[in-house]
Amino acid sequence: MIYLDNAATTQMAPEVLQAMLPFFSDVYGNASAVYGLGARARQAVFEARKQVGALIGAAPEEIYFTSGGTEADNWAIKAVAETFADRGKHIITSKIEHPAVLQTCEWLERRGYEITYLDVDKDGLVHVEDVESALRSDTILISIMFANNEIGTIEPIAEIGSLARRRHVLFHTDAVQAFGQVPIDVEDMQIDLLSASAHKVNGPKGVGCLYIRSGVKIHPFLHGGPQERSRRAGTENVAGIAGFGAAARRAARILAEKQKREMSLRDDLIRRLESEVPWCRLNGHRSRRLPGNVNFSFSFVEGEALLIRLDMAGICASSGSACTSGSLDPSHVLLAIGLSHELAHGSLRLTLSEANTKAELDIVVETVKKAVELLRQMSPLYEDFMKNQSLEENI
C-alpha cells in the first residue's frame, strides 16, 4: 500500500503509541486526584501541554486540550462571538476554510452575526488588503486558516496577525494542517487563537487543542468541572493528551528534516506529473505550499473514478470531486480558486509524509498516468475535445 492521504489523517508514530499505553492500563488515575496515581496522570498532561506549546512558541498555560480541531474551531469562533457580542457582531473569514469554521460561521449568521467570507486569488491566497478593507468598527474576529487542507496554500498569517493587532481585532487561525508541518510562532505571527489536531501529526485521533493567548478572555465552551483551568470541563483524555504531547515533541525534533524531504518529493512529483500527463493543472500556490501537498486537476476525467483506479493499485488518495463528497457538490475550495465544475471534478489530492519514498512516487506517477489515459478513453468530454482539435488542425 502507498499512503498518500496524510492531510486526511496520519499513521501514529511508534513513540506516540508507547507514550500513550501506560494510561490505558496501569496509570488509570484521574488527573484531578490527590494520590500518586492521579499525580502521574496530571504530570503527563502537564508535560504534553509544554510539548504542544513549545511547537508554536506558546506557554503551557495557553494550551487548552480539546477533542480535536473541530472543537477548537467551534470554541474559538463561538466563544469570541458570544463574549464580545456587545462590541460587535462582525466576523471576517475566507471562502476556503474547513467546514468546521465555515459551518460555525453560518450558524452564527443565522443568529444575527454578520460574516464576511473573503475571496481568495487563483492560487488560494487571501490578500491582506482584502482583510483590511473588510474590517469594520464592529469587527470582533478575523479567522483565516494557516494552510488549506485541500490545495496546501499557506496564507500570509504574520501579515494578517500584524493587521489584526494594529486594529485591535482578535485573530484566530485554524492551523490543523500546518501544525508540525511548517514552523509556527504565535508571538512573531501575532496569533491570538490557534486550532491544532493531533491526528494530522502522527498523533491519536480525537484530541487537539485551542491555543488562547494569555489575557484573551473568552467564555468556556464546555461547562462543568475545573479541568483546563475551568475553560474546558471534562475529565482529561489523558492517554490522548499524552499521545498529542509525544507527537508534538517528535514533530519538533524532525520538523526541519521532514520539511526538506517532503518538499523535495513534492516538487519532484509535481514536475513529473506536469511533464507526463497532458492537460493537467496544479491547484494551489506553487511555492507557498504545505511541504507534503500535491493537488492536480486532470481535464476530462472524474476524480472518484480516478481514486478507485489508484485504490486498485494500492494507492490511497483523495479528490474534491462532487462524486466523492456525499453532498454531490464539488469542493468549495476548488470553486473558490476559480476552477470550472469540470476541473473541480477531475481533482486529485496526494498528501505525502516523510516516510514516502521516491520509488513509491515512481509507481504513483505511472499509475496516475495510466489511469488518466484510460479514463480519458472513456470520457465523452475527451472525445469531443479531440474531435474539435482535429477539426481545428484541418482548417
Ligand X SMILES: Cc1ncc(COP(=O)(O)O)c(C=O)c1O
- Among 124, 302, 336, 352, the residue binding other proteins under the rule CB under 8 A is 302
Least distance to ligand X, CB of residue 307, Å: 17
**Known catalytic membership, residue 280:** no
- Residues 186-225, one symbol each (x = binds ligand X by CB under 6 A, - = not), give -----------x----------x-----------------
- Among 29, 53, 69, 346, the residue binding ligand X under the rule CB under 6 A is 69
Query: Judged by CB under 8 A, does residue 320 bind other proteins?
Result: no
Q: If contact means CB under 5 to 8 A according to the sort of partner, which of ligand X, other proteins, none does residue 66 touch?
A: none
C-alpha dist (Å) from residue 80 to 155, 169, 338, 379, 387: 22, 11, 31, 49, 57
Q: If contact means CB under 5 to 8 A according to the sort of partner, which of ligand X, other proteins, none does residue 197 touch?
A: ligand X
Query: Judged by CB under 6 A, does residue 142 bind ligand X?
Result: no
Q: Which stretch binds other proteins (CB under 8 A): 15-23, 38-46, 324-332, 352-360?
A: 324-332
CA 50, distance to chain mean position in Å, is: 22
Residue closer to other proteins by CB (options 263, 313) is: 313
SS3 content of the chain, % helix, strand, coil (to 5): 45, 15, 40
Query: Judged by CB under 8 A, does residue 333 bind other proteins?
Result: no
Backbone angles phi, psi at 170, to 5 degrees: -70, 145
Q: Residue 8 has which C-alpha cell?
A: 486526511
Query: Judged by CB under 6 A, does residue 284 bind ligand X?
Result: no
Helix (H) or strand (E) holding 338: none
Choosing from 105, 280, 316, 323, which is the catalytic residue? 323
Q: Residue 2 has which C-alpha cell?
A: 502507498
- Judged by phi (left if over 0) then psi (alpha if -120 to 50, else beta), residue 190 lies in left
Residue 48 to residue 302: CA distance in whole angstroms: 43
Residue 395 to residue 391: CA distance in whole angstroms: 7
Least distance to other proteins, CB of residue 8, Å: 16
User: Which residue, judged by CB position, is nearest to ligand X in the bound state?
Assistant: 69
Q: Which stretch binds ligand X (CB under 6 A): 30-38, 171-179, 247-255, 282-290?
A: 171-179
Residue 201 to residue 255: CA distance in whole angstroms: 11
- Among 98, 231, 266, 285, the residue binding ligand X under the rule CB under 6 A is 98
Least distance to other proteins, CB of residue 336, Å: 17
Report the amino acid identity of residue 279. Answer: W
Least distance to other proteins, CB of residue 100, Å: 22
Question: Length of the chain in residues, anyone?
Answer: 395
Q: Residue 57 has which C-alpha cell?
A: 512558541
Residue closer to ligand X by CB (options 195, 259) is: 195
N-term to C-term CA, the chain: 49
Question: If DSSP states are collapsed to H, E and C, what string results for 221-289?
Answer: CECCCCHHHHCECCCCCHHHHHHHHHHHHHHHHHHHHHHHHHHHHHHHHHHHHHHHCCCEEECCCCCCE
Q: If contact means CB under 5 to 8 A according to the sort of partner, which of ligand X, other proteins, none does residue 301 touch?
A: other proteins
- Among 195, 324, 331, 353, the residue binding other proteins under the rule CB under 8 A is 324
Q: If contact means CB under 5 to 8 A according to the sort of partner, which of ligand X, other proteins, none does residue 100 touch?
A: ligand X
Q: Which stretch binds ligand X (CB under 6 A): 172-180, 247-255, 280-288, 334-342?
A: 172-180
Q: Which residue from 87, 72, 213, 77 is spatially nearest to 143, judged by alpha carbons?
A: 77
Residues lying near ligand X in the complex (CB under 6 A) are found at 68-70, 73, 98, 100, 145, 149, 174, 176-177, 197, 208
Residues lying near other proteins in the complex (CB under 8 A) are found at 300-302, 304-305, 308, 311-312, 321-324, 326, 328, 330, 341-342, 345, 377-383
Which residues are marked as active site? 323
